[in-house]
Structure 1
Amino acid sequence: MQLVNEIIERFASFVWGLPLLILLIGGGLYLLILSRFLPFRYLGHAIQVVLGKYDNANDPGDISHFQALTTALSSTIGMGNIAGVAVAISIGGPGAVFWMWISAVIGMSTKFFTSSLAVMYRGKDSNGDIQGGPMYFITEGLGKRWKPLAVFFSLCAMVGALPVFNVNQLTQAINGILLVPNGVEVSTYTNLMIAGALVLITSIVILGGISRISKVASTLVPAMVILYFVLILYILVLNSEVVPGYFKLIFTDAFAADYFKGDRFLGGLTGGLILLGVRRGAFSNEAGIGMAPMAHGAAKTSEPIREGLVAMLGPAIDTLIVCTLTAMAILVTGVWQTTDANGVSLTASAFDSAIPTFGNYLLLLCIAVFSVSSLFSYSYYGTKCMSFLFGAHNKKYYNYIYILSIIVGATTSLGLIINLIDGFFALMAIPTMLATLILAPKVLKEAKRYFNKMKLNH
């Protein structure tokens, strides 16, 4: 196991090197400048679209704009925001949060382009059903000779979509918050029991397809986000005297890297901190990775730009709001300096110190819903890739592999899991970003047409 751990850690560090950083952040910046900050200029319009102002039941697609956003968010709001931020702070200190923000702002433009493309170049699977996502906009937008890139994306996404990180952190949370404090001895047996319960819940939902997944997600996710908000705002009010100081520290430490405990990058600690923030930011909002366009590609709309605008709200809700709240709770309670806990356990310590007795249980409720809703949407992404590679009639086999991997996630170490998923996320970004950069001018042309049409209608 030690050797496997080392190999996977090296693989993750290798693929998350400078070339990928340039592709994700440099590519995102290029898109932002190329579009003259378009995503930010139409923020108000994006919100109207999500609220259903332009919904049309006769448009092609399976789910509404709101459901597409909540399905995409149910996979991104989850462990990336609760455990991922905690991982970033425990290794990088407060400054890591700043670099997560930068990746989110840039990620909004990337999300806009990738999700517009997912609707512009929808393809059909072997059943003749309309599908969207990077593998389709590569083959439909760039042509058949680019198919190897689409195949590469699909293969990586089938691994990247496995729910091992979510399950691992949910198991850690149930053990640390529910079982151990109540005198239950944690063992492989209890982990398998948790895995068994998750397998049962997941099977019922995912075998019902995207419409069932999106119904469950659009009900559960908003409710939990609100509960999570209220809890953290309460923690911030309790510690209000230190809030401004820590908020300032996020900015000053972003360049000082005083608390950074990771590996140097480009010869310096700040370089290492930037890489850590971007990596955790990408894990939290998935901009440029290519997962979310698969959900947005299923939206009921004949206007690709509309869906792109909806998608770009993802990183804003996800990283700028939810991650910041988690980060502030961890910082103001001081647990990041007083405990060795990592991942979800660190966030739990923050809740426990601020809201004794109940805090942990309420956090566990949020974690459970976020994790389980992520389980649903990730399975959908994996089956789409399976259909693309092996035909729609074989996609059920992915669900079986997926359900088995839940058991693996519940019984394996955190380090191994994070590096494995991180590595495949990085590989998925290569085809997604390359195709997006090549097709970007077509998105801008479509955007010009769309906004001119909107002006005529007003």
Structure 2
Amino acid sequence: MIGGSVETLLQQFATFMWGTPLIVLLVGGGLFFVIYSRGLPYRHLGHGLAILTGRYDQSYAQGTLNHFQALSTALSGTLGLGNISGVALAITAGGPGAVFWMWVTAVVGIATKFFTATAAVMYRGRDSAGELQGGPMYVIREGLGARWLWLAFVFAFAGLCGTQPIFQINELVNLLRTSVAYPLNLASDGSHFLFDLVVGILAALVIFAIISGQLQRVGKVTARIVPTMVLVYLVMTGGVLISHASAIPEAFSLIFHDAFSATAVAGGALGTVIKVGVSRGAFSNEAGIGTESMAHGAARTNEPVREGLVAMVGPIIDTLLVCTCTALAILVTGVWQLGQNDGVLLTAGAFSATYGSWGPILLTMMVIFLSLSTILTFWYYGSKCLGFLIGAQHQHHYVWIYCVFIVIGAVASLTALFNFLIGMYAVMAIPTMVSALLLSPRIMRRAQEYFAQQKLNKSYR
């Protein structure tokens, strides 16, 4: 009885945190950034792409990662199961119209990322070990002062909880069990503990081997994996869309019609469609959540605005490109109407419609890399949050705790804990958005000075 009440309470907590107040904060805050900046981030998108080529890298500057590595690390945290199962679940719960509201979140998220990532470099601070760090907790401490310090601790605690690897590894194990273990008789419905344990241990070993090299190795690995994952996935979904090209216009029509209909095709009331789309979009691209600011805050640059321009490319790749391809693949193949409510399996059905038995295999390989890359980046986020809370000199112990949680997540079904982690993930948005909104005048002044200097030097293209 007690366990059931706790689970219900945590479910209500997660539902409330991803409810209307958070939607207003994320979308409303993003719209404020768009209007307040007069669309400045969008007007300078080309400059952001030029920065990614390495043309503006500053090897002498403070920081750990170059611009491309910082974006790749941030994307490795956002490009995950949310782009595959999350999109499918959004369509299942909110109908095709939820995709439109994911787009809205991404479009305003471009401006949000510009402001939060610029702030992450503007207001970097030293941890207790004397190392330069970025992220919302340091933005609050350095930019807003002592009276707001409690908000920095709120973010750090929520970030430590919300970036645990349990959800990602659990979903990965479930997919491998269904697509590999059962067909090959490596496990049965009643006795799959050993298979789950082996997968969890192997995943923990892989992650440990990479993170033992600290952030530098994480940045190098993600800089190679992320572009490859994006290209391969676009090719896979491109094949699905080409084979169902005649259904694409109808899919877009369905998305736009369902987004504004009083009673959505599959998701019920319009409010439900908006909530589902915005929450899935925010969970996917993390604009306004604050985790990605910790990666961008580690960029090797003395020009905060440059990293802001780099960061705003994230929602474009993550949501407007990758998530849209997933959504269209699901809609044009018609699998969303089959009543399947398992996100990964629904997306696998879309690939099966084109590639036959190879579809689930290709998707499984993609999910392995996506899940492991997210788990990899979440370790970095969690360790920085722990270092802020208890001191950076102790955060090296976190690797052992994190690997243990990977194994636990692989073998346990922890619904109540999932709700807690998802709820805490939403809590991170409050300190992140509040600090960015309060500091927006200073961020805009810095941006105006930067672009004025670029034009003066005649180096801006």
Instruction: Specify the TM-score bucket, using the shorter chain as the normaliser.
Output: over 0.9
- Deviations along 1:90-123, one digit per CA (max 9) or x if unpaired, are 1112111000000000111111100000000000
Amino acid at match of 2:225: L
Q: Where does residue 388 of structure 2 map in the other structure?
A: 388
**Cα deviations by residue, 1:142-192 (Å, 9 ceiling, x for unpaired):** 012211110110000001111122112211221122222333324222111
Q: Does 1:239 align with 2:244?
A: yes
Deviations 1:404-441 (A, max 9, x none): 22123223448546533321121111111111100000
Distance change (3 Å), C-alpha of 1:259 and 1:181: farther
Contact 2:82 2:283 in 1 (8 A): yes
Q: Is the 8 A contact 2:186 2:195 kept in 1?
A: no
What is the alpha-carbon distance in structure 2 between the residues aligned to residue 456 and residue 78 of structure 1?
41
Q: Could you tell me which of 124, 144, 147 is aligned with 1:142?
A: 144
Moved more, 366-375 or 404-413: 404-413
Q: Which residue of 1 aligns with 2:73?
A: 71
For 1:194, the equivalent position in structure 2 comes to 199
SS in 2 for 1:241: helix
What CA distance in whole angstroms lies between the structure 2 residues aligned with 1:448 and 1:153?
Answer: 29
Distance (Å, rounded) in 2 between the aligned partners of 1:418 and 1:79: 15
Task: Tell me the TM-score normalised to structure 2 length.
Answer: 0.95
Q: Return the alpha-carbon distance in structure 2 between the equivalents of residues 214 and 313 of structure 1.
A: 17
Aligned to 1:332: 332
User: Deviation per CA, 1:380-405, whole angstroms, max 9, x where unpaired?
Assistant: 01111111111111102322222122
Q: Deviations over 1:30-79 (max 9, x none)?
A: 11100001111001000000111101211110010000000000000111
Which of 200, 209, 212 is matched with 2:214 structurally?
209
Partner of 2:229: 224
Partner of 1:171: 173
Partner of residue 7 from structure 2, selected from 5, 8, 11 = 5
With 91-100 and 12-21 compared, the bigger mean Cα shift is at 12-21
**8 A Cα contact 2:119 2:443, kept in partner:** yes
State the shift of 1:141 in Å. Answer: 0.2
Matching residue of 1:317: 317
Q: Distance in 2 between matches of 1:326 and 1:411?
A: 28
* Paired residue secondary structure (2:55): coil
Work out whether residues 283 and 422 of structure 1, in 8 Å CA contact, stay in contact via their aligned partners in 2: no
- Equivalent pair of 1:176/1:345 in contact (CA under 8 Å): no
**Cα contact 1:95–1:249 (8 A) shared by 2:** yes
- 1:98 counterpart letter in structure 2: F
**How much does 1:375 deviate?**
1.1
> Equivalents in 2 of 1:66, 1:153: separation in Å?
26
CA separation of 1:28/1:414 partners in 2, compared to 1, >3 Å: closer, same or farther? Answer: farther
After superposition, the C-alpha distances for 1:243-265 in whole angstroms (9 at most, x for unaligned) are 11111111111112433446xxx
Q: Per-residue deviation at 1:19?
A: 2.0
The whole-number CA distance in structure 2 between the counterparts of 1:127 and 1:381 is: 17
Task: Return the TM-score normalized by structure 1.
Answer: 0.96
The residue number in structure 1 matching 2:51 is 49
For 1:273, the equivalent position in structure 2 comes to: 273
Tell me the amino acid that sits aligned with residue 407 of structure 1.
V
- Whether the 8 Å contact between 1:83 and 1:343 is mirrored in structure 2 is yes
Mark the runs of 5 or more structure 2 residues left unpaired by the alignment. Answer: none
- 1:14 maps to 2:19: no
Percent sequence identity is 48
Question: Alpha-carbon deviations, 1:360-394, whole Å to 9, x = none?
Answer: 21111111111111111110011111111111111
Displacement of 1:231 after TM fit? 0.6
Taking the aligned partners of 1:401 and 1:14, their CA distance within structure 2 comes to 29
Q: 1:17 Cα shift?
A: 2.6
In the other structure, the counterpart of 1:111 is 113
* Distance change (3 Å), C-alpha of 1:335 and 1:87: same
Shift of 1:242: 1.0
Query: CA shift at 1:292, angstroms?
Result: 0.3
Query: Structure 1 residues 349, 181: closer, same or farther in 2, change over 3 A?
Result: farther
Is 2:368 aligned against 1:368? yes
Q: Structure 1 residues 194-203 or 176-185, which shifts more?
A: 176-185
Summarize the Cα distance change of 1:182–1:332 in structure 2 as closer, same or farther, 3 Å threshold: farther
1:265 paired residue number:
none
Query: In structure 1, what residue type is equivalent to 2:438?
Result: I
SS for the counterpart of 1:299 is coil
> Aligned partners of 1:410 and 1:339: how far apart in 2?
27
Q: Which has the larger displacement, 246-255 or 172-181?
A: 172-181
Specify the code of the residue in structure 1 equivalent to 2:134. Answer: G
Q: 253-262 vs 372-381, which deviates more? A: 253-262
Instruction: Report the Cα distance in structure 2 between the residues aligned to 1:284 and 1:414, rounded to whole angstroms.
Output: 22
> 1: distance between equivalents of 2:288 and 2:405?
25
Shift of 1:2: 4.2
Matches of 1:191 and 1:23, distance apart in 2: 39
Q: In 1, Cα distance between the equivalents of 2:408 and 2:274? A: 31
SS in 2 for 1:107: helix
Q: Could you tell me how far apart the structure 1 residues matched to 2:106 and 2:8 are?
A: 30
Q: Which residue of 2 aligns with 1:259?
A: 265
Give, in angstroms, the shift of residue 354 of structure 1: 1.7
Matched, 1:93 2:95: yes
Instruction: Report what 1:450 is aligned to.
Output: 450
In structure 2, distance between residues paired with 1:374 and 1:273:
27
Aligned residues: 452
Instruction: Note the C-alpha offset of 1:317.
Output: 0.5
